Amino acid sequence: MSSPREIKLWSALPTPLHADLSVDDAAVARTITASIAGGMTGVFLAGTCGEGPWLPEREKERLIRTAKATAGDRLKLAAQVSDNSVPRVLDNISRVAAAGADIAVMASPATFMNATPDRVVALFTDVVNASALPMSIYDLGAHRPVMIPVERLRDVYGLPNVVMVKDSSGDPARRAEAMAVRDTHPGLQLFNGDEFRCVEYLEAGYDGCMFGGAVAMMPQLRQIVDLVAKGDGAAARLADAEMRRVLFGIYGGKSIACWLTGLKHCLVQQGLFESSASFFEYPLTAECREFIETYAAESAA
């Protein structure tokens, strides 16, 4: 009898903040401890959900140092280093490495002049080849104005120092190319970054999941991946549908009206965060608040 398939879970953590938008060290420690207890392989710090591009550098480094002090060797730490030039990204890598990160995560820059395919690919390859840390590529596909063309993904994903891909593109062509690269690069691990397409990507053969809502949904997510690992796709899809229902309630419906504020308010109800403060200032609608607080009370019962 073959062993159940191993599926790994990462959480792209939101960053707990005080009202003055400084990092809440105690809440970071609680959330890291909960992630370990929840069976996470690692956490992705200072991504979009983690508000990394908005945090002052001193706060981002403090976030990583606090996470490392709590996790030790029990949890892998990945940190975002994305920027719009090779020297800036390499400087970011040096900073997060010194703070305790194990893996550097690079997405396409939001702003990049003369973004020809060759220049975009060169940005990634030059960083990857010079990085002091193993690299993860965060692929947002067409959700970003700058992206690695699908026919050039192999040039980046196939580099020896690329160990992970977080794929939030939702693009079957990009998924197929990522899996083709993994066939010739066995050390590469592929993670789905879209919480609303979890089972789809796992059944396609991805190695795991890595998304922001994971921290609030750890038991449900563990149930889903265990069912997929056992080959019970029907039950996994039912559990996935229930997880999506809850996530839409937390995020404020299919319009995602409350998004990060709703997610942080959920973590307040779970006793991990002290506040829902964020740089983004999404509203917390009455409907969203009621759903989250009702869900938290039912879950605790």
What's the CA gap between 136 and 41, in Å, rounded? 15
Residues 6+ apart with CB under 8 A from 122: none
How many folded domains does the chain comprise?
Answer: 1
pLDDT digit string (tens) for 29-69? 999 999 999 999 999 999 999 999 999 999 999 999 999 99
142 occurs within a structural domain:
yes
Name the residue range of residue 169's domain: 8-234
Give me the residues of the chain with pLDDT under 70, please.
Answer: 1-4
Confidence at residue 4, expressed as pLDDT on a 0 to 100 scale: 59
- The string of DSSP letters for 118-158 reads HHHHHHHHHHHHH-SS-EEEEE-GGGSSS---GGGHHHHHT
pLDDT of residue 199: 96
> Is residue 243 domain-resident?
no
In a domain, 151, yes or no: yes
Q: Domain with 107 in it: what CATH number?
A: 3.20.20.70
Q: Tell me whether residue 265 is in a domain.
A: no
pTM: 0.95
Strand 76-80 with 42-45, pairing: parallel
How much is the pLDDT for 110?
87
Residue 6's pLDDT is what? 87
Q: Does residue 289 belong to any structural domain of this protein?
A: no
Using DSSP's 3-state secondary structure scheme, residue 171 falls into coil
pLDDT tens sequence across 183-219: 999 899 999 999 999 999 999 999 999 999 999 999 9
Task: Determine, yes or no, domain membership for 173.
Answer: yes
pLDDT at 1: 35
